[in-house]
């Protein structure tokens, strides 16, 4: 995976400041990561496990379907990269939580 450079000025133009942009990106990348984990788990659960002819724990029997799904998910872009692409393409919307007044 090659490292892409990102101009800070371009990033800052998408938010009030660099720090705000970084927080937005980190939250979005966590969301993407969780979505990917759920999808991966669902797809792996749908596959039928191969029956283990040997009860030998030393030998691992790999399911070709599981391997195919795993390789597909490894080939996907990283969640951070997806979040950056979404922010730079103006596909992300974010807002602040509403402040509640504290009465003394």
Task: Tell me if residue 86 falls in helix, strand or coil.
Answer: helix
Q: Give the count of domains, the chain.
A: 1
Residue 52 belongs to a domain: no
Residue 22 belongs to a domain: yes
Query: Is the sign of the CA dihedral 7, 11, 14, 18 positive or negative?
Result: negative
User: Domain of 38?
Assistant: 9-47+62-88
pLDDT at 60: 59
pLDDT in tens for each of the 104 residues of the chain?
677 888 999 999 999 999 999 999 999 999 999 999 999 999 988 886 555 555 555 455 578 888 899 999 999 999 999 999 999 999 998 888 887 777 66
Residue 1 belongs to a domain: no
Residue 104 belongs to a domain: no
Residue 57 belongs to a domain: no
Residue 79 belongs to a domain: yes
pLDDT at 61: 59
Distance CA 22, CA 55 (A): 49
- All residues at 6 or more sequence positions from 18 whose CB lies less than 8 Å from its CB, including other chains: 8, 11, 12
Residue 74 belongs to a domain: yes
pLDDT at 98: 81
pLDDT at 85: 94
Residue 55 belongs to a domain: no
- Whole-prediction pTM: 0.76
């Amino acid at each position: 995976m090659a490292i892409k450079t990102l101009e800070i000025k371009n990033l800052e133009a998408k938010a009030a400041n660099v720090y705000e942009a970084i927080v937005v990106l980190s939250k979005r990348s966590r969301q993407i990561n969780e979505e990917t984990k759920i999808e991966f788990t669902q797809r792996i659960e749908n596959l039928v496990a191969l029956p283990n002819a040997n009860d030998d724990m030393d030998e691992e029997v790999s399911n070709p379907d599981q391997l195919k799904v795993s390789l597909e998910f490894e080939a996907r872009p990283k969640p951070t990269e997806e979040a950056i692409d979404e922010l730079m393409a103006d596909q992300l919307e974010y807002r602040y939580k509403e402040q509640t007044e504290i009465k003394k």
